[in-house]
A and B are shown apart, each in its own frame.
Chain A
Amino acid sequence: MSDDAELVRKSIQGDRLAAGAIYDRFSPLVRAIAWDATSRPQEVDELVQEIFLRVLTHLGQLRQGEALAGWIVQVARRQVVDFARHRGKRQLRERPLAEEPADSMPANPCDDRDRVRSAVAQLDENERLAVHLYYLAEQPAEVARQALGLSSSGFYKLIERARAQLCRLLASQESSS
């Protein structure tokens, strides 16, 4: 992750290519965190936009560019918590004026991907992040150290537990369907 610091430095100077590289490197992970909060693709896109806009406009506050990955994860988790809270309030206040367009409806619940999404969402918060990192991060143990304060062995124990739990949840879904 040595070049993360360089990307941060250049982005702070307004380099669009560097900012784009940060987006390219971390958008799958951020998107996975966003999928934890909603099953609506449109809301996922909105969340991803909010998270990256916040990340990119606040890079100046990041003292150690090498810690970029962990910091992005923390920002994303915080935004997701806020999103879930605000959505709860919105749903209480607002009633739809018209039927929602198809692309904002939850994806087909029978889709394998949504079964996985639903199972992942049932994991404990740290287990969930560990699974995302395992499948998406370039250096999952390092990001886990930054974001969760875990040692490498601690991370691998967590991921082992999380994957076993994910397996149980998917098996349970399979048997109930």
Chain B
Amino acid sequence: MNRQTPSDEFESAILSHYDRCRAESPNVRSAILDAWESQPRATPPRRFSWGSRVLGTVAVLLMVAAGLSVWESRSAPELFGADDLPERLVKVDNFRMSGWQIVAAPPDSGQEDTRLPVEFIVERPGRFRHTFHGISENGKQQTIITGMRICDGHTEMMIQQTMSGYMQVPVHPLDAALKTEEIAQGLVLAMVIGPPDLRYHPEGKAPVKGIPCDLYVGSLGEDTRIEMWLNPRTGWPERVVHSRKGQKGNWVHVMEIDEVAVNSQLPESTFTFIPPKGYVDLMAKHRPPAKDGDPQSLDQPAATLTMQENSSAHSQDQSLAVWHCFRLESESALIIWKRTAPAPDANGDRDWLHGLTLEYRSGEPARPLVQAWATPPEPEQWLWSIVRAADGKPLGRGTIGMELRGDRFQLKNGLIPLEFPDQTLEKLIEEAGKLTWKKGAATPSLRNLRDQAAKMKPEKSRD
């Protein structure tokens, strides 16, 4: 008998077990469908009105009564899990997460660890506020710089608490929206929820502040883990703790998020900053004067969108830069980018994809991407590339890896395809088109880009 693969005898028993799985139990199907038809549908949380909330509450109460007769003493199913938390956060109007970052004291310094307050607040479409800090160590001497970024939709402020100074610049509303989503879909997800390839596993139930929660744990290698206590009724975490393994093998907290509020009423003061006495405007002398000679007013937003490199990599004579990357649909994205013009061939043509690799990273292995030009590439211009996975399947949560490689250089960029409502994405494409294309050239619409993406056939990516 072959012990490496199931023998015919075993195969027959296995098939018999699976036949049992295919066999229908009487009434189960109809019981499920009947119960489903009498249940309210769970939809992603979004803006609500009190009217609909009251009606919803009444409906829920009625359903509870109806459900009791169907399910007798069985408890109601839980409403939310951790899997789709990032996707649900993209849809909310605002959220606030706050807690503590624990900065370890230098080894053998005899000092206590430092607990720094952390806060991330996002209010779509273009307001945010978040803390940041930097640490430098020189032997047992540790220096911590703390600060905060605030954007009220038309002015961005950078407050450097350690220097008692601040900077503020006007921003275009679309720039404010871009920065807001970079924080919401990039910074917050990476710092609080974890990177795209992190997989959470349920670890049972554990109350937080008396609230029944499901505990999920995700590991980043062997030395780092994230624990999330998710309230299954609201779908939002009540607590998130990041830990790393200490020298003695124990878990040491590095971040604790204890307050999470979603779609709450945020006071206007959240996004304003009144400099405390003694704080200096670090930009005042660099700000161009207005026509009347006074410093330029910050009450008005910037007149145009800023198309500057948002991420870039450079070598001695080569560069790879990206303005932004947008999710067009679940399967495709638009990258607006630049590179050093490749040398022309004998016919004067340039291969703009020469040495470039595009892949999607959402776990192992990375998935190759296929590319199509939204417009013919030209030197010194932003390049518009539509990409989709070579396997033709949805991208899911992840990052686009761009790598430009030559004999003496290797430049890399990681991009998050930002997701926007169609209306905002259309405006972003229109404004970016005006700043990219030659005057008089037609700007492709969101619809054009999506149509083009849909026509791209799955194939092997070119290396």
- Enumerate chain A interface residues (CB-CB to B < 8 A): 12, 14, 16, 19-20, 23-24, 27-29, 31-32, 35, 41, 44-46, 48-50, 52-54, 56-64, 66-67, 71, 74-75, 78, 81-82, 85, 112-113, 115-117, 120, 132, 135-136, 145, 149, 151, 160, 163-164, 166-168, 170-171
Contact = CB atoms under 8 A, between A and B. Distances in A.
Contact of A60 (B13, B29, B44): B44
Interface string B1-30: 111111100101111111011101100110
Interface in B63-94: 74, 77-81, 83-84, 87-88
A58 B28 contact: no
14 contacts: A23-B32, A46-B74, A49-B32, A53-B32, A57-B39, A60-B42, A61-B84, A63-B87, A67-B396, A113-B20, A120-B17, A136-B22, A164-B3, A171-B3
Nearest to B24: A27
A171 B10 CA distance: 8
B33 A20 contact: yes
Contacts of B363: 149
B399 to A, nearest CB: 15
A28 B6 contact: no
A133 B4 CA distance: 20
Contacts of A12: 41
A28 B25 CA distance: 11
A78 B202 contact: yes
Contacts of B37: 14, 16
B43 interface: yes
A125 B44 CA distance: 30
Nearest to A164: B4
B13 A61 contact: no
Contacts of A52: 32, 36
Contacts of B39: 53, 56-57
Given A41-B25, A57-B77, A66 B16 contact: no
A44 B433 CA distance: 57
B16 A35 contact: no
Q: Which of B3, B17, B33 has the most CB of A within 10 A?
A: B17
Given A52-B32, A64-B394, A151-B365, A112 B4 contact: no
B17 A117 contact: yes
Contacts of A29: 21
A75 B77 CA distance: 11
Contact of B42 (A28, A57, A116, A170): A57
A75 B36 CA distance: 16
Contact of B199 (A48, A67, A149, A151): A149
A10 to B, nearest CB: 13
Q: Which of B4, B7, B16, B77 has the most CB of A within 10 A?
A: B77
B163 interface: no
Given A35-B21, A63-B87, A66-B394, A116 B32 contact: no
Interface of B: 1-7, 10, 12-18, 20-22, 24-25, 28-29, 31-33, 35-37, 39-44, 74, 77-81, 83-84, 87-88, 197, 199, 202, 204-205, 330, 362-365, 393-394, 396
Nearest to A171: B3
A112 B20 CA distance: 11
A112 B28 contact: no
Nearest to B28: A45
Nearest to B45: A61
B31 to A, nearest CB: 6
A171 B6 CA distance: 9
Contacts of B24: 27
By Cβ-Cβ distance, the 3 closest A-B pairs, closest first, are A116-B17, A112-B13, A149-B363
Nearest to A41: B25
Contacts of A81: 202
Given A53-B36, A113-B20, A74 B204 contact: no
Contacts of B78: 54, 82
B25 to A, nearest CB: 5
Nearest to B365: A151
B43 A60 contact: yes
Contact of A48 (B28, B40, B362, B364): B28
Nearest to B83: A74
Contact of A135 (B15, B42, B364): B15
Nearest to B393: A66
B88 A61 contact: yes
A52 to B, nearest CB: 5
Given A61-B84, A85-B204, A45 B25 contact: yes
A80 B21 CA distance: 16
A113 B12 CA distance: 10
Contact of A167 (B3, B40, B87, B393): B3
A44 B363 CA distance: 33
B274 to A, nearest CB: 41
A61 B21 contact: no
B416 to A, nearest CB: 16
